[in-house]
Amino acid sequence: MFWTILVLFILGYAAIALERPLRVNKSASAMILAVILWILLMFWDRTGQTPFMVQDSLRFHLGEIAEIIFFLLGAMTIVELVDSHEGFRIITSHVTTSNRVRLLWIISLLTFFLSAVLDNLTTAIVMVSLLRKLVPDRQERWFFSGMVIIAANSGGAWSPIGDVTTIMLWIGGQVTTLNIIIKTILPSLVSLLIPLVILSFILKGEISRNVHHSKSFPADPASPTERNLVFFLGIGSLLFIPVFKAITHLPPYLGMLSGLGLVWVVTEVLHRSKHSEHRSRLTVAGILMRIDTPSVLFFLGILLAVAALQYGGHLEALAQALDDRMGNYYLINGLIGLLSAIVDNVPIVAGTIGMYGKALPADHYFWEMLAYCAGTGGSILIIGSAAGVAVMGMEKIDFIWYFKRIACWALIGYLAGCVVYWVMNRFLFG
């Protein structure tokens, strides 16, 4: 049964990757895959296993996944709400360049540092929403969106609150705030700069900027005051999430839901006297009807499938094999980063913490490099990170297109960052 589950996961993953030629939505493939794997786990005759154990594990993993789903839904709703008020005009009006290379650098560096303050998922959603205002051509926007994925993952890797896996290591006591920043910010920056420089030679010339217009409204129903209020309230709600977590010690998704509730109340009050058509476009109730539900269901399905591998012991067996056959912490982390491009980095890091948590002390270089590798390695494939999955759903980026156009540059940047970390740890901090 062990190998059956593994083979089925590979086949399901192939169906997701080949969504376009198969003409089967990846969300459907992911959900079917997840259900089949958990059915097999239920009927797997393992010593000491009972149906109640499988059910309890499923509930546990579903609870963890639900936190991510609710966080994603909240972030997408707030960003879409700000966008419906044309709030991003505050930023886009200051980005006046039409030069492709200059715009690529501005967007990438802004994403890199913003993701360290927010998180890579929220930042990716915000920046893609901005790109829709700046780059009208869809295929050209995919290049910029690809760099947003790389920049968001690189920026989140060096901050204790910038990525789910780094948060796991931070909360678990494997890394401390100042140490993780000092040790990983330069490798993370290198992992962005290498692809950025390469794409700077590929993208040439000028872009034709979008002519600003409201979204098919007869007239702009949001006044400048309302637009600015919703923008700062929405972005402020996102920025407040790390503070909420630090103060209350509650999961980040609760901070997201509190921010969404606040924005919801404010917009309901602001637009309570307006025409029903405008209210449906400018309040959360209307926005929720336009959220990309298939992408959310895909996220649910793929994470449940990976959770099945975790419960089945596949990820733990893989980690043990790495330890037995390689032994070198640098190589192990490098390979973990490559694996995180294929499967979600959260269970991989969770399994790694379970294996090495008692053996290695806090701020050991293994943990720091793990944060870098697990965070940036997910950029190699578009479904290797939450940011990538979100951008894929928002922009409908084809898996094969990303693999051909972006993956190789992301891989080069990832490997360059690994080398930089090794050099720093050996000669500066060793």
pLDDT at 334: 92
Backbone angles phi, psi at 99, to 5 degrees: -75, 125
pLDDT band with cut points at 50, 70 and 90 for residue 218: very low
- Asked if 70 and 241 count as a contact pair (C-beta separation under 8 A), the reply is no
DSSP state of 88: T
DSSP state of 213: -
CA distance 116 to 50: 43
Q: Which of 84-98, 146-160, 240-254 has the lowest mean pLDDT?
A: 84-98
Question: Any bridge partners for residue 99, and if so which?
Answer: 206
- Asked if 137 and 320 count as a contact pair (C-beta separation under 8 A), the reply is no
- Asked if 98 and 209 count as a contact pair (C-beta separation under 8 A), the reply is yes
Residues 6+ apart with CB under 8 A from 215: 84, 281
CA distance 411 to 153: 13
Side-chain-side CA neighbours of 412 within 13 Å: the count stands at 11
* Stretch (H or E) spanning 31: helix 26-42
Q: Has residue 212 got a pLDDT over 90?
A: no
For 149-187, letters b (16+ CB in 10 Å) and e give bbbbbbbbbbbbbbbbbbbbbbeeebbeeeebbebbbbb
pTM of the model: 0.73
114-158 confidence digits (pLDDT tens): 888 777 887 888 888 888 888 888 888 998 999 999 999 999 999
pLDDT at 151: 95
Q: Which of 12-21, 187-196, 315-324 has the lowest mean pLDDT?
A: 315-324
The whole-chain average pLDDT of the chain stands at 84
| Residue 332 DSSP SS3 | helix
> How deeply is 285 buried, as exposed, middle or buried, from its count of CB atoms within 10 A (0-12, 13-18, 19+)?
exposed
- Asked if 123 and 115 count as a contact pair (C-beta separation under 8 A), the reply is yes
Give the structural domain span for 191.
Answer: 2-427
- Asked if 180 and 158 count as a contact pair (C-beta separation under 8 A), the reply is yes
CA distance 150 to 134: 19
| Residue 39 DSSP SS3 | helix
Q: Which two tokens stand for residue 367?
A: 């943990």
Give the angle subtended at the CA of 168 by the CAs of 166 and 173, to the nearest 5°. Answer: 100
Cα pseudo-dihedral 299, 407, 112, 122, rounded to 10: -10
CA distance 80 to 78: 5
Q: Which of 154, 160, 112 is nearest to 363 (CA)?
A: 160
Residues 6+ apart with CB under 8 A from 225: none
Q: Which two tokens stand for residue 13?
A: 């993953």
The arithmetic mean of pLDDT across residues 152-168, rounded, is: 85
**Amino acid at residue number 10:** I
Most confident of 91-100, 230-239, 353-362: 230-239
Q: Which two tokens stand for residue 410?
A: 């992301």
Task: Please state the domain count of the chain.
Answer: 1
Q: Which of 127-131, 212-216, 333-337 has the lowest mean pLDDT?
A: 212-216
> How deeply is 40 buried, as exposed, middle or buried, from its count of CB atoms within 10 A (0-12, 13-18, 19+)?
middle
pLDDT band with cut points at 50, 70 and 90 for residue 423: very high
